[in-house]
Chain A
Amino acid sequence: MIDRALSSLFKVVTDEAVNNPAFGKRLEESLAKFGQELAERRMAERNVGEFHPFIEFKKGTPEEFSARLGKFDVSELRVIVQKHHLDPANLLKGKGTKKTLAAHILEAARKRSERDAKLFEY
């Protein structure tokens, strides 16, 4: 059922894109923009890889951790924040500079490290 509904929908869109050049151009631009953003996002995710802020924080001093964060660009830092749920109150609103993002991650990792240490004492 859903396959027929989708085929029908795509045919309508395809026909309109062919017969209406203005619509076709807007559609093309929209898809290109989406593709570009998606490619950037995937690239950032690949670059972040297995980097886990809470684990990495414990491996050295806060300064060393900051230095490691400094190697990531803004989109990669955003991926770290999102992937590890470091902004539950959405204070950053999905934005932030490289400096503010790195500071936010450092603070979250520091707090988490302190809390987990207490749990191990529990």
Chain B
Amino acid sequence: MAPRTVSVVNMKGGVGKSTTVASLAETLASEGVRVLVIDLDPQSNVSMMLAGQDRWVELRQANRTIDEYFNQYVYGGEPRFFREFVANKVSDIAGEPALDLLISTPEFRYIERHALEKWVSQGFDIRQLNTRFSRLTHSAIENVAESYDLVLFDCPPGISMFAEAAIELSEFIVIPTIPDYVSRLGIFAFRKRALRSMEQRRFTDDRIYTLITKYEAQNSLHQSEAALLKDQFNVFDTRIPQAEQIARAAEWSDHKRTLEQKYGDAAAVIRKFAGEFRERVGLI
């Protein structure tokens, strides 16, 4: 059975995309869901969070990165299967959850530019390049489809061609957002693009979800904007709170820990969100 494919994306930065991907992936994997996270963000935040800095360096030295995967199509060379790039059993959560990861590196930002330069000089236009990136991403997922129940794309802020490819491939889109004015504007800016992709595949906008993040229950602005988001968009009932422990969880622990040790009081909310996510994307 093909895995569920979900892009976590928002044009605005700092809304908690990588944190959402990491915590969701760890929670679902600890519940027995086989998860693959693909880091499309050159900032490599989710790579660092899930693999830890030491393993990230090892993977980078072994050329098992997303930039190397796409590099082989841009520069040629001996082709390697997508699965060879994937790091198995990442995360510092105890119990060896079935969580795999394709790491990103800061160099990833140059691949798109090099690909554009090369393929445009060969006569391809932007639409054809988009299609090419989509096909490459699609064939990558097909290569590992049997191994996973869920593929999560952590997309960079803004829209890159790789993020476009992920969106075009995804059955569901999750837009994390802080309930404030500028973050809400970020949804409007992105929603139309996501909607077009969904409609092309005969999906409806009920597959585009908004997740409220960094929520402060006592903040009247957050209360007001959260209610408005719920009225205007398809919003998860669970709200991820602004919590020190969630920010601290980003740092790798050399010793395995439970979800509760890692996320503290926020673990219960994260579990609740994971449950709601499973229900909505059909991962029951």
Contacts and interface: CB of A to CB of B under 8 A. Distances in A.
A116 interface: yes
Nearest to B181: A85
Contacts of B185: 119
Contacts of B121: none
B224 A84 contact: yes
> How extensive is the interface on chain A, given as a class?
10 to 19
A55 interface: yes
Contacts of B221: 85
Given A83-B223, A83-B224, A84-B224, A52 B231 contact: yes
Contact of A52 (B188, B189, B227): B227
Given A82-B220, A83-B220, A85-B221, A119 B188 contact: yes
A50 B220 CA distance: 12
B200 interface: no
Interface in B150-167: none
Contact of A122 (B192, B223, B224): B192
Given A82-B220, A83-B220, A116-B232, A50 B227 contact: yes
Contacts of A54: 228, 231
Contacts of A120: 188
Nearest to A120: B188
A34 B165 CA distance: 59
Interface string B185-228: 10011001000000000000000000000000000110110011
Contacts of A85: 220-221, 224
Given A83-B224, A85-B221, A122 B188 contact: yes
Q: How would you classify the secondary structure of chain A's contact residues: helix, strand, loop or mixed? A: helix
Given A119-B185, A120-B188, A122-B188, A55 B227 contact: yes
Contacts of B223: 83
A102 B54 CA distance: 60
A76 to B, nearest CB: 15
Contacts of B228: 52, 54-55
Interface string A88-120: 000000000000000000000000000010011
Nearest to A83: B220
Interface string B222-264: 0110011001100000000000000000000000000000000
A60 to B, nearest CB: 14
Interface of A: 50, 52, 54-55, 58, 82-85, 116, 119-120, 122
Given A55-B227, A55-B228, A122-B192, 16 more contacts: A52-B231, A54-B228, A54-B231, A58-B231, A82-B220, A83-B220, A83-B224, A84-B220, A85-B220, A85-B221, A85-B224, A116-B232, A119-B185, A119-B188, A122-B188, A122-B189
20 contacts: A50-B227, A52-B224, A52-B228, A52-B231, A55-B227, A55-B228, A55-B231, A82-B220, A83-B220, A83-B223, A83-B224, A84-B224, A85-B220, A116-B232, A119-B185, A119-B188, A120-B188, A122-B188, A122-B189, A122-B192
Top 6 A-B pairs, shortest CB-CB distance: A119-B188, A55-B231, A84-B224, A52-B227, A83-B220, A122-B188
